[in-house]
Structure 1
Amino acid sequence: MCIKIMTHENVVFNENDTMSSTPSHPLVWQQHLSEGRREDDPVVMLNIAMLAISHLTANHPFFVRMALKTLLVSTKSEPIVQTTAKEFMFGYPSALATLGNTFLPNWISFEKVGLIDRMYDFSTDFETFYTGKSNPAESGLYATYRGETTLPQWEDEHCSNIEHASDGTKFKSFLLPNETVKFFRKSMCRPIHLYRVGEKKTFGRLSGYSYVFEDNAFDNGVTNTANKCFCRKGYCQPVGLIDVTDCYYGFPISLSFPHFMGGDVGLKKNITGMNPDPAMHSSEFIIQPESGLPLSLSVKVQINMHFQNLNNYQAVSKFSHLTVPMLWFEIMMPKLPDFLDSRFNFYLNLLPWVNPLSFWSALLLGVGFLGCAITKATLQMSNYARKTTSISERKFARVNIIQNLSGVAPNQAPGACEMKLINDRLEDKHTMKPCDEIDSKFQDLRRLSKLALEIEPALSDSEETTENEKSSKTPNSKSNVLSV
């Protein structure tokens, strides 16, 4: 088993809210995950280079075919070869590949042939993705592939347009239940749509929905007429195959589900060991709809060589009109790494509560502060009113004391001369001009007025003491003052 390390090199951020980079997806062998299998285990497989070149030149002029036959004989090429598992997947030496690289470097840029090695060759690729700055829903989706929004090998927009497709690392955000998802990988050589099925599933601390390949995705126009544009140069491969010839140097490579699951029954003719099982061979993407984050995925693909008429080459004629399964593999992510699960749990499950909680907390705190301010202001106003009332009461007390001591009834208003004498005394005027009518009775009023002013400080002090101080005073204190 191998682990794929996905990186992006030469990253450039563009002014139109996109990011361009060169992808790199190296595979690293993991012996402890391989269940006893080893890279150097021997395998017997087709000679990819020989059969591919034979297929490419099968309908070429006679002199081209004769030159190739001579080359095949001189290099002692055989249609069946034995290699190790690593060589078959990542490349084994081939005299034909070496010659092609020498004389046709623009076509054959490699000296070794390996199925997985060719599928993961991104040396000439550059991709541009939306950053999501202007539209968060499209973050991480394709803007262009190799500078174009369409693939050159397909003519119709349905078959060629890859804009807003996902490479599987991040899907469209804010997905609606009935919305399909566009998926594109270089290895598939075409865009394909996914649709939602089933109920919500939980992986770690996040939940998402299952998305699978659309029905009749590989029918090449037999049922879904829109897929007719996947017929390369007018030739439609049997149902269940994806023609990726133009993405692999013209080699007759076709993709399918494992064991030709869902494919034409003729694909299994003359091939033994085909036992398709949807439970084992189906592909599935679990996507968190708000973020477009894949929580789990399992993509299972079979690599085949699909041949047409090879009767012009005797050595390989037995493979004419045959689809030979080479291997099938699974791209798998059982679940998010723990650190990503924790981070996105905070972003998606906890962070949405921060804004409303902050709003209501601030609102309640503001109401509390407002209530405290109102209460404090009310108490201050009440104290001010009480002090004002106390001052007024003390002023009236002066007059009442004088009235009581002078024998004037409390409810009887003093006369004009009396009031003049009182006011003059309260204002501490030392020079007084009594009325001519004042008799000896009002001479005594001067003495009483002076006495009232002496009593006043005692009244003022009595108003300002606390209840405890009031209660602590003896009853005789007041009577003693009044008895003077």
Structure 2
Amino acid sequence: MPLLVAELLGREESMCLDKLCCYGLAGAVVLLVAGITSPATHLVVRNEITRRVVLENGSMLYGIWQNPTESIPVYLQFYPFDVMNPDEVTAGGKPYVVERGPYTYREYREKYDIKFNDNGTVSYRENVFYKFDSEMSNGEETDCITTVNMVLLAFANAMKFSPPVLRQAASIILSLTKESVFHTISIRDLVWGYDDPLLVLGNSMFPSFFYTSKVGILAGKNNTDYGEMTVFTGVDDLKKLGIIDKFNGTKHLPFWTTPYANMINGSDGSIIPPFLSKSDRLYVFSPDICRSVYGVYHDTITHGDVPVHEFVAADAVLVSPDINPDNIGFCTPQDKCFKSGVLNITQCKTVDNFHIPLQLSLPHFLKADPEYRNSVSNLHPDERQHTTQTLVEPNSGILFHVAKRMQMNILLQNYSDVEYLHDVPSLVFPILWMNETASIDEKHAQMILHQLIIPLKIVEIFQICLVAIGIIMLLTAVGFAVWKKSKSGSTAQLFTIESISYLIKLK
């Protein structure tokens, strides 16, 4: 009798094992399917993203790229520094400044003369127009502040570094005028330019040298373009999407002293190649500062329900050559290197034939050598408010928010040859800082969310579910088999004892 029971239970155990094998096999098949479909799905998703973001007529990105301000409102804000003690500074004292503003302008951009080339690039020009927005401003553009006289300093710089003929012309002009180191000027004139008396006089006396009388931080930049830009469309190579091939017909800049410094790297900042990783550098070329810069990954955050990568300006961009030897090419003249945090852009900023001794930094000399901040009273650098920031959706490369922040300064030096500059302190003087921001609107953010982000998330969840189901089925099968084997061993032992007792009884 016990033997008969054991035989029946053995058959049942064999059937269970067969079922477990089938169950485990099914789990393995699910895992195999997940493994096969994963690269195939990623290929389909990649092709779909490529179709939507390359620069060609009909793509999702093309309309945004061609006329960006319809979908991505752009604002340019100015925060000028008002000098409270100009007479003291002229006599050699420490400047005390008060930040004003913001004075906000809505920025409108539209590309024209668009031409697709045979080498996978597209050439275009971009008209830029600014309109004052009083609702987003703290004051009117007619407000006046006291600041340094940029033209006087440009003339003084010319007398020190320019050819003899220019030095002589500048000296004659200065001797005929009564200029001051500081002057009171409206925000509109400071930014967009005004007819300076020195330049007007120079134009009447030396028209071959003084061909314009206007000077300003962005003089001649309203309702105009920076030149012809040629970028890769991404059709042939998606990694090159938006990357600049040529600027004004050239691949290199003429302003700096090394090939590295003169390189044109990255995009114009409006397009980022897709499939961005955290280890990537975000290169951007800016005609405003005549060079390329780059950002590095800082964090992953959510912007309008969309996970985005946050990139911030790399510290290495503005450090001195002692810390980053690559920056030696930005020292102009070659033996004139500023300390960390300040870039001398005198070489690429001119009015008539005179170079304006302008320097670039982060607002309030953030991350700059303490010498610059300590030479001016009432500066308060704040990393949250004064850092350049870019938020980009990494799969598509679409920008969700950009805040480009930089400060324009001018080199104030005492010159023995210039009467008005005998006693002034030598320092990098802050004029104003700018905040150029752009955020994608709700309509296009939702479009990207539903057309790209949600489908990607559904695919990702589906693959995770397949892998989880396959692993659970395999583990269940293996675990149940081990448990059955352990139980069957105990049962066999029980049957053996019962059989021996039965035989003894028969005897």
Residue in 2 that maps onto 1:116: 218
Question: Of the candidates 339, 342, 345, which is equivalent to residue 443 of structure 2?
Answer: 339
Q: 1:109 to 1:345 in 2, by over 3 A?
A: farther
Residue in 2 that maps onto 1:244: 345
TM-fit CA distance, 1:257: 0.7
Residue in 2 that maps onto 1:25: 128
Paired residues of 2:179 and 2:420 also in contact (CA < 8 A) = no
Q: Give me the whole-angstrom Cα distance separating, in 2, the residues matched to 1:203 and 1:107.
A: 51
Higher relative contact order (CA 8 A, sep 6+): 2
Paired residues of 1:118 and 1:248 also in contact (CA < 8 A) = no
Q: 1:22 to 1:106 in 2, by over 3 A?
A: farther
TM-fit CA distance, 1:172: 2.1
Q: Give me the whole-angstrom Cα distance separating, in 1, the residues matched to 2:396 and 2:226.
A: 31
Residue in 2 that maps onto 1:58: 160
Alignment of 1:324-473 (within 5 A): 324-333=429-438, 335-350=439-454, 352=456
Q: 1:286 to 1:61 in 2, by over 3 A?
A: closer
Residue in 2 that maps onto 1:209: 309
Residue in 2 that maps onto 1:190: 291
TM-score, length of structure 2 as denominator length:
0.64
Q: 1:293 to 1:74 in 2, by over 3 A?
A: same
| Structure 1 stretch displaced more, 341-350 or 200-209 | 341-350
Q: Give me the whole-angstrom Cα distance separating, in 1, the residues matched to 2:241 and 2:132.
A: 32
Question: Of the candidates 121, 127, 143, which is equivalent to residue 41 of structure 1?
Answer: 143
Q: Which amino acid letter does the alignment assign opposite residue 258 of structure 1?
A: P
Indicate whether 1:268 and 2:405 are aligned. no
Q: 1:297 to 1:288 in 2, by over 3 A?
A: same
**Deviation per residue, 1:193-226 (Å, 9 max, x gap):** 211012x212124221110111232113120111
**Deviation per residue, 1:92-118 (Å, 9 max, x gap):** 221233355567778765431111335
**Deviation per residue, 1:258-303 (Å, 9 max, x gap):** 1111111221343111121212222211111112211112121110
Q: 1:345 to 1:60 in 2, by over 3 A?
A: closer
CA radius of gyration, larger in: 1
Q: 1:64 to 1:31 in 2, by over 3 A?
A: closer
**Which secondary structure does the structure 2 equivalent of 1:159 belong to?**
coil
Alignment of 1:118-157 (within 5 A): 123=225, 125-157=227-259
**Which secondary structure does the structure 1 equivalent of 2:170 belong to?**
helix
Q: Give me the whole-angstrom Cα distance separating, in 2, the residues matched to 1:11 and 1:230.
A: 33
Residue in 2 that maps onto 1:226: 326
**Deviation per residue, 1:43-63 (Å, 9 max, x gap):** 111221121121122245788
Paired residues of 1:254 and 1:305 also in contact (CA < 8 A) = yes
Q: Give me the whole-angstrom Cα distance separating, in 2, the residues matched to 1:293 and 1:239.
A: 32
Indicate whether 1:98 and 2:200 are aligned. yes
Q: 1:153 to 1:308 in 2, by over 3 A?
A: farther
Q: Give me the whole-angstrom Cα distance separating, in 2, the residues matched to 1:126 and 1:328.
A: 27
Q: 1:317 to 1:129 in 2, by over 3 A?
A: farther
Q: Which amino acid letter does the alignment assign opposite residue 343 of structure 1?
A: M
Q: 1:149 to 1:346 in 2, by over 3 A?
A: farther
TM-fit CA distance, 1:64: 5.7
Q: Give me the whole-angstrom Cα distance separating, in 2, the residues matched to 1:42 and 1:97.
A: 21
**Which secondary structure does the structure 2 equivalent of 1:83 belong to?**
strand
Q: Give me the whole-angstrom Cα distance separating, in 2, the residues matched to 1:129 and 1:154.
A: 23
Residue in 2 that maps onto 1:426: none
**Which secondary structure does the structure 1 equivalent of 2:410 belong to?**
strand
TM-fit CA distance, 1:9: 2.3
Q: 1:61 to 1:296 in 2, by over 3 A?
A: closer
Q: How many residues align?
A: 353
Indicate whether 1:167 and 2:268 are aligned. yes
Q: 1:61 to 1:297 in 2, by over 3 A?
A: closer
What is the alpha-carbon root mean square deviation over aligned residues? 2.7
TM-score, length of structure 1 as denominator length:
0.67
Q: Give me the whole-angstrom Cα distance separating, in 2, the residues matched to 1:191 and 1:105.
A: 35
Indicate whether 1:323 and 2:428 are aligned. yes
**Deviation per residue, 1:387-445 (Å, 9 max, x gap):** xxxxxxxxxxxxxxxxxxxxxxxxxxxxxxxxxxxxxxxxxxxxxxxxxxxxxxxxxxx
Q: Which amino acid letter does the alignment assign opposite residue 269 of structure 2?
A: G
Q: Give me the whole-angstrom Cα distance separating, in 2, the residues matched to 1:27 and 1:280.
A: 23
Paired residues of 1:45 and 1:81 also in contact (CA < 8 A) = yes
Q: Give me the whole-angstrom Cα distance separating, in 1, the residues matched to 2:431 and 2:415.
A: 19
Paired residues of 1:58 and 1:309 also in contact (CA < 8 A) = no
Query: Once superposed, which parts of structure 1, at least 4 consecutive aligned residues long, lie more than 6 Å away?
Result: 102-107, 353-357
Q: Give me the whole-angstrom Cα distance separating, in 2, the residues matched to 1:345 and 1:105.
A: 58
**Which secondary structure does the structure 2 equivalent of 1:216 belong to?**
helix
Q: Which amino acid letter does the alignment assign opposite residue 25 of structure 1?
A: V
Q: Which amino acid letter does the alignment assign opposite residue 286 of structure 2?
A: R
Paired residues of 1:17 and 1:130 also in contact (CA < 8 A) = yes
Indicate whether 1:281 and 2:382 are aligned. no
Q: Give me the whole-angstrom Cα distance separating, in 2, the residues matched to 1:144 and 1:104.
A: 36
Q: Which residues of structure 1 form unaligned runs of 5+?
A: 358-484
Q: Give me the whole-angstrom Cα distance separating, in 1, the residues matched to 2:450 and 2:292.
A: 33
Residue in 2 that maps onto 1:158: 260
**Which secondary structure does the structure 2 equivalent of 1:115 belong to?**
coil
Q: Give me the whole-angstrom Cα distance separating, in 1, the residues matched to 2:184 and 2:371.
A: 28
Q: 1:331 to 1:87 in 2, by over 3 A?
A: same
Q: Which amino acid letter does the alignment assign opposite residue 223 of structure 1?
A: I
Q: Give me the whole-angstrom Cα distance separating, in 2, the residues matched to 1:303 and 1:354.
A: 47
Q: Give me the whole-angstrom Cα distance separating, in 1, the residues matched to 2:457 and 2:208.
A: 57
Q: Which residues of structure 2 form unaligned runs of 5+?
A: 1-103, 462-507
Paired residues of 1:203 and 1:295 also in contact (CA < 8 A) = yes
Q: 1:12 to 1:107 in 2, by over 3 A?
A: farther
TM-fit CA distance, 1:185: 0.8
Q: 1:162 to 1:104 in 2, by over 3 A?
A: farther
